Amino acid sequence: MSEPIDAPIDQLTLDPSGGPGETLRLMAVHAHPDDESSKGAATMARYVADGVEVLVVTCTGGERGDILNPAMDRPEVKANIGKVREEEMARAREILGVRQSWLGFVDSGFPEGDPPPPLPEGCFAVQPLEVASEPLVRAVREFRPHVMLTYDEKGGYPHPDHVKCHEVSVEAFEAAGDPDRYPGTGEPWQPLKLYYHMTFHKERILALHGAMERLGLESPYTESLKRLDDAPPPLWTVTTRVPCADQFETRDKALLAHATQIDPEGFWFACPLDVQREVWPTEDYHLARSLVDTELPEDDLFAGIREKVCL
């Protein structure tokens, strides 16, 4: 099911042993096209600018996603939604400067109803763990990331593909370095750190909401705060804040490339960029696994790794 990474690995000068002198490598694993632009995009653009190799792995094609931008809600788009979203992803990855690979699974859709209907046969979320993880293990062993990004156990929000993305990311992180697991998927490679996105945590939303109100602007975060007030406490705390305000504009351009999913007049752009840069100039993460020593809190996903790799 896996498809090749869109640039050959042999273009990179790498030491397979993971020794000093290597290029740093970051892999971000996402459920659908557009997720990479709404979660961690400025971080990726910042590291690309710093010379880090960045690969986005997209688990599904987003074929069952709704059209969320009224301007794109047209019959010809609906009839070719998978192809359209593939083209959107190509534009977004070019804007971000990242490489990208499709795992080749089919979008599960978001089941709605009480009780929710069964998930579609053959979709990503119903795949056995080893079947769903095998192409990601292959991608890890091929690309050899030092750091991986993914979602927490709840998927960031409870879309079945996001939850499955978490499961396969953890499985790949733990299995890719074991020569006895997933035979035939390449030489073992052990990533050193695994992070969860903490994009929509309450502290950040409160800060942006307060700034909008002080400026006399209508806040887009009122409903989000109500939902957070009713939600259980978060599973994880923020351990790592990556400064990337200079890349917020690039992030927004990548979001707009996903025209079927992002309304240019909608929520994503209601808070002015200068307010975001001043009030919350970071993207935030939870360090879920680490095989290197690091001091918390961090401001760099490669803290504890640079000293080993870049000497």
Question: DSSP letter string over 193-223?
Answer: EEEEE-TT-HHHHHHHHHHHHHTTPPPTTHH
Task: Give the total number of structural domains in the chain.
Answer: 1
Place of tokens 């119903």: 126
Q: Which two tokens stand for residue 225?
A: 């705060």
Residue 254 falls within a domain, yes or no?
A: no
Angstrom distance (rounded) from CA 261 to CA 68: 5
Residue 207 falls within a domain, yes or no?
A: no
Per-residue pLDDT 10s for the chain (311 aa) are 333 344 333 333 333 334 556 899 999 999 999 999 999 999 999 999 999 999 999 999 999 999 999 999 999 999 999 999 999 999 999 999 999 999 999 999 999 988 889 999 999 999 999 999 999 999 999 999 999 999 999 978 889 999 999 999 999 999 999 999 999 999 999 999 999 999 999 999 999 999 999 999 999 999 889 888 888 888 899 999 999 999 999 999 999 999 999 999 999 999 999 999 999 999 999 999 999 999 999 999 999 999 888 75
Nearest residue to 180 via CA among 139, 137, 213: 137
Residue 45 falls within a domain, yes or no?
A: yes
CB 228 within 8 A of CB 202: yes
Indicate the annotated binding residues for Zn(2+): 32, 35, 162
Residue 255 falls within a domain, yes or no?
A: no
CB 186 within 8 A of CB 200: no
Residue 247 falls within a domain, yes or no?
A: no
Q: Domain with 84 in it: what CATH number?
A: 3.40.50.10320
Residues 248-288: tens digit of each pLDDT: 999 999 999 999 999 999 999 999 999 999 999 999 999 99
Angstrom distance (rounded) from CA 67 to CA 78: 8
Indicate the annotated binding residues: 32, 35, 162
What is the three-class DSSP state of 71? helix
Residue 1 falls within a domain, yes or no?
A: no
Which residues constitute the domain of residue 52?
A: 9-199+282-309
Strands (E), the chain: 25-30, 53-60, 99-105, 147-150, 193-197, 240-243, 282-290
